[in-house]
Amino acid sequence: MSLLELIARADGRGLAASGLACLDRCLPAPGDGSDPEPLRPLWASCESGAEWATRLDDVHAALEGAARGDATAARVRALLGAAPRDFGTGPLRAWADACSLLALDIHGEFDFPAGGTDVSARCRAGGAADGGPLVTGELRRQSQILEALAETAAPLGAGPGLRRVLELSTEGRRVLRAVVSRRARGRSVASS
């Protein structure tokens, strides 16, 4: 099943957790000693939407300073700001879809060969062979997250679904941050 089909079939909790996980993986490491996991308060709201809007506003405000000077953080913050305040499946589906595309685009920027929006769109529709290793890994992660959430009947906050989402997201965040760090070191050495 393609990623687009998985998004189309996901329920509200799956959409909220999937979108949040995409943003979580792409948020750059804070360089100023800020909270390394600023999106964490939102995870507890993914099950039923309880306190979703309040926590969303709090997290968005906490990221206010993080977006300055970093284009990727600004893109994540902008999409976080566009998150629906109501926990309806329709608005969450559109938001999760946008988060998915943003995550693939950001991975594509650091991939080899460099991807683009058209590559991300083809990959989401089932053409994973079009992407480089970072995009392909992110595509696989997004699919695994939606599949894990669809398979778990237990409440998200207490069941294996959220644990699996967090594991996959943490793994993806480490991979992307390592690539970004290597790329920055390479540019630093080249300019010396």
List pLDDT tens digits, range 7-65: 999 999 899 999 999 999 998 887 766 677 888 889 888 878 889 999 999 888 888 76
How many other CB atoms are found less than 10 A from the CB of residue 149?
Answer: 25
What residues contact residue 175 under an 8 Å CB cut-off, 6+ apart? 134, 137
Supply the pTM of this predicted model.
Answer: 0.87
Residue 76 domain-assigned (yes or no): yes
Residue 182 domain-assigned (yes or no): no
Tell me which H or E stretch contains 149: helix 133-151
Give the separation between CA 84 and CA 88, rounded to whole angstroms.
8
Query: At residue 115, does pLDDT exceed 60?
Result: no
Average confidence score pLDDT of the chain? 83
Query: Which pLDDT does position 127 carry in this prediction?
Result: 59
Burial of 122 (0-12, 13-18, 19+ CB in 10 A): middle
Query: Which pLDDT does position 45 carry in this prediction?
Result: 87
Query: At residue 161, does pLDDT exceed 80?
Result: no
Residue 184 domain-assigned (yes or no): no
| Contact by Cβ (8 Å): 115, 135 | yes
Query: Which pLDDT does position 84 carry in this prediction?
Result: 95
Interval 62-113: pLDDT, tens = 887 655 568 888 899 899 999 999 999 999 999 999 999 999 999 988 887 6
* 164 closest CA partner among 13, 63, 60, 21: 21
What residues contact residue 105 under an 8 Å CB cut-off, 6+ apart? 115, 116, 117, 120
Residue 40 domain-assigned (yes or no): yes
Residue 77 domain-assigned (yes or no): yes
What residues contact residue 103 under an 8 Å CB cut-off, 6+ apart? 22, 23, 25, 26, 138, 142
Q: Picking from 114-118, 128-132, 178-182, which range would have the lowest pLDDT averaged per residue?
A: 114-118
Interval 125-148: pLDDT, tens = 765 556 788 988 999 999 999 999
Residue 7 domain-assigned (yes or no): yes
Q: How sure is the predictor about 163, in pLDDT bands with cuts at 50, 70 and 90?
A: confident
Residue 61 domain-assigned (yes or no): yes
| Contact by Cβ (8 Å): 104, 120 | yes
Helix, strand counts (H, E) of the chain: 9, 0
Residue 187 domain-assigned (yes or no): no
Domain that includes residue 69, residue range: 3-171
Count of structural domains, the chain? 1
Q: How far are the Cα atoms of 9, 58, 132, 136 from residue 112, in angstroms, in the given order?
A: 31, 36, 6, 11
Query: Which pLDDT does position 33 carry in this prediction?
Result: 64
